[in-house]
Chains A and B, each alone.
Chain A
Amino acid sequence: MEKVFTDGLSFGIPLLIMAVGAIYSEKSGVTNLAVEGFQGVGAFVGSLIAILLIPVMGNGNQWIIYIALAAAAVGAGIYACLHALLCIKFHADQVISGVVINILAVALTSFFTSAANTAINGTASNKFILGVSNRFTVPGLSKIPWIGGLFTNMYPFEIIIIVLVIFFWYLMNKTRYGMRLRACGENPQAVDAAGGDVKKTRWIAVMISGALSGIGGMCFAYSLLANFSPSIYQGYGYLAIAAMIFGNWNIGSTALVCLIFGFAKSGGYQLCIAMGLPSNYSDLFLMLPYVLTMLLLIFFSKKNHPPKAVGQPWDKGKR
C-alpha cells in the first residue's frame, strides 16, 4: 500500500509539471498538443548534457541531475519557439502545428541520439544510459501509517517540481503578468486595447510551457526509464493534456487529477503483483491510466470551460 503512494507520487508529479506547462500555453490562447514533443526534446537535451558531464564529474554525482534538469528546461523552451513561430507568427492551424512538433521531436531526438552515440563511443545505440536519481526519506513523516508512503523514497526533483508549481500558480493567479496572460486567452482584443502586447505574452507563455514540459520529461528519464530512448514517447504528454482538461485549466484541480493518474498506475501495478499474476499480465495493468483517462473524459468533458480565444491566431485587424 505504501509502495502505491511512493510510486504514484513519482509518476504524478512530473505529469503535473507538464500539465502546468500546457495550462500556461492554453490560458494564453495557444492550443498546446505539443507537450509530448516538448518533454521528449527536453529529456533529450538534458540527457545529452548528462552523458557529456558524467566522464568529467564522475558517475553518480548528483549535481549532474540538477544541471540536466536546467538544460532540459532551456532546450525544450527553445524548441517550443518553433511551436510559437508556427502558431503565433505563421498563423498555422494550432492543432496541426502541435502534431507536427510532436512528430518532428520523435524524429529529431532518435536521429541525434544515434548520431551522438556514434560520435561519443562509436556504437550506434539509440539510448543514453542515465541510471536512477538518488532517493531520500523524510524522517518522522514517513512513519505515519497509510500516507507515510508519500514521504518515503522520494526523488529530490519532486520537491523542486512542487516548489515550481507553487511559484507558477502564484505567477498565474496573483501577478499582473498572469492576469494579462489569462486575458490573452479570453479576450485578446481587450489586452490590445489596454496597451498589452498579445503576441509577446503568448510567445513567453509557450516558451514557459516548453520549459516546464522539458523538466517533466527529464524527470521521467531519471526515474521511470533510467535512460533516454525513444520509449520516452509513451503518451505521457497527452495524459498531461487530459489532466488539464479534467482540471478545467485550473492548476489546483489539475494537481489532484495528476495524483489520481499516478495512483491508478502504481495501484494497478501493485495489484498485479499482489494477485500473483505472471509478468505478462502487467501489460493489462499498464493500460489502466489510459482507460481511466477515457472514462474520465466521457464523464467530465461536457462541463469544462476552455479559454475562449484558445486556438485562434491573434490578428489585430479582426473584430
Chain B
Amino acid sequence: MKKFLAQRLDGRYSAFWASVLAIILTLITASLLLLVMGKDPVVAFQSFLQGCGFLPKANYGGGSGMLSDLFDFLNYLAPLLLASLAFIAGFKTGLFNIGISGQMLFSGFLATVFIGYNKSMSAAIAKPLVILIGLASGCLLGALIGFLKYRFNIHEVVSTIMINYIISYLTGFFINNNYVDMMTRTSRICTAAARLTWTNVKIGGVNCKVPLGIVIAVLIAFVVQFLFDKTSFGFELKAVGLNSRCAKYFGVNVGKSVVLSMAISGALAGLAGVCYYLGYTNTIIPKTLAGMGYDSISVALLGSASPIGAILASVIVSIFQQGANYMSSRVGVAKEIASLITGIMLLYAACGNYMRIVAHSYLQKELDKTSSREGKER
C-alpha cells in the first residue's frame, strides 16, 4: 500500500496523484468533522451532489428538475474556472494574483453600469460589449499591478489586497449613491440583453438558466494550455517564473513579461467578473468581495497550476460551494462548511510538493535496501 502510493506520487503523473491524495484526505477530514458534529457524512456528500444536479433530489418545485440544478451548477462553474485560469496565468510567471475578487468586482461594476443599465441595446451588441469591457478593464488593472511590481518593487500580494479594498469601497460608494435597489439594498439588476446567462430556457420540460460563460471558460482553458505549452511567448513567461535572473540572461525582457502576464491574468479575472456579476448573480452587493476570488486559488493549486487540471478541480470545488445550500437544508450543518472544505483542500494541495519529496526519498531508500540485499546474496 505504502509502496503503491509512493510509486504513484513519484511517477510521471505525480502532480495528478498528489491532487487525488489531497482530495481523499479532504474527504476523510470532512467526514471526521461531520461525525464529530453527529451528522452522517454519506448523506451529506450525497446531498452536495444532489444540490448540483448530479443525483436526483427527493422532490422538486414546479418547473424545475435535475437539469435546472445542473445548469445552475454550470452557472457557478464558469466564473470559478475563469478565475482560476486567471490565477494560473500569473502563477506560471511566479506572480501571486490574490486580487482576483477585486478585479472581478471592478469589471463587473463597469459592465453593469455601462451596458447592463442601457435599455436600448440589443442582445447581439450588448453581450459582446460586456465581454469586451470585462476583458479590457481587468487587463488594465492587471497591467497596473504588474507595472507596480516591476517598476517600484511592490509585492503583488500587498498591492492587490490594497486595490481590492479600494475597489470595494469605491464601487460600494457609487452603487449606494446611484444604482441601489431600495428593496434588496444591492445594485439594480441588469437587462436580460446584457446578461451572459439566458434564463427560463425550456429544456426537457424544465426551466434552465443556460450560461454562455461555460463555453468561453472551457475554450480559454485550452487556449491558456496551448499558450504555455506550445508558444515561445508562453515559454518566456514560464522561464521568468522559474528563474527570472536566468531568463534575463537569456535575453527575455523580464519587466515586459511581468506586466504582460499580470495583464493576461487580470483580463481573465475581468472575464470571470462579468460572468459572475452579469451571469450568476445579476446584481452586485455593495462593499462585498466575492469569495470566489479566493476559491480560485484552491482550484488552481489543486489542479497543480495546469489549465486542464483546473477544469477538473473547479468541478470538485463547485460541487461543494454550489451544493452547500441544499446540504445545509437537508443535514442541518451551516453552509459555511463549503468554504471550510475548500480551505482544507487548499491546505492539503499546498502540501503536495512535500508528499512528492517524501515519496521520492522513500522509494530511494527501498531501492538502496533491495540493492544492498542483492549485494549480500551475491
Contacts and interface: CB of A to CB of B under 8 A. Distances in A.
Given A91-B354, A115-B37, A234-B165, A280 B173 contact: yes
* Majority secondary structure of chain A interface residues (helix, strand, loop or mixed): helix
Nearest to B348: A100
Given A235-B161, A281-B173, A297-B159, 15 more contacts: A92-B354, A95-B157, A98-B157, A103-B297, A106-B343, A111-B334, A238-B161, A242-B158, A283-B172, A283-B173, A283-B287, A291-B166, A294-B159, A297-B148, A301-B152
Contacts of B172: 283
B154 interface: yes
Interface of B: 37, 96, 98, 148, 152-155, 157-159, 161-166, 169-170, 172-173, 176-177, 287, 294, 297-298, 301, 334, 336-337, 339-340, 342-344, 346-347, 350-351, 353-354, 357
A238 B357 CA distance: 32
A125 to B, nearest CB: 10
Contacts of A238: 157-158, 161-162
B366 to A, nearest CB: 21
Given A90-B354, A103-B294, A111 B152 contact: no
Interface string A84-105: 0010001111011111100110
A245 B298 CA distance: 28
B173 A284 contact: yes
B176 A114 contact: no
Contacts of A234: 165
Contacts of A97: 350
A199 B159 CA distance: 30
A229 B266 CA distance: 30
Given A92-B350, A297-B154, A301-B152, A286 B340 contact: no
B182 to A, nearest CB: 14
B152 A298 contact: yes
Contact of B337 (A92, A111, A245, A284): A111
Instruction: State the 6 A-B residue pairs at the shortest beta-carbon distance, nearest first.
Output: A107-B343, A90-B354, A107-B339, A104-B343, A114-B334, A111-B336
A108 B297 contact: no
B142 to A, nearest CB: 16
B165 A86 contact: no
A244 to B, nearest CB: 10
Given A99-B297, A100-B350, A287 B169 contact: yes
A298 B152 CA distance: 6
Given A92-B351, A107-B336, A286-B169, A100 B152 contact: no
B96 A99 contact: yes
A104 B336 contact: no
Given A103-B294, A238-B161, A298 B154 contact: yes
Contacts of B157: 33, 95, 98-99, 238
B259 to A, nearest CB: 16
Contacts of A103: 294, 297-298, 342-343, 346
Contacts of A290: 162-163, 165-166, 169
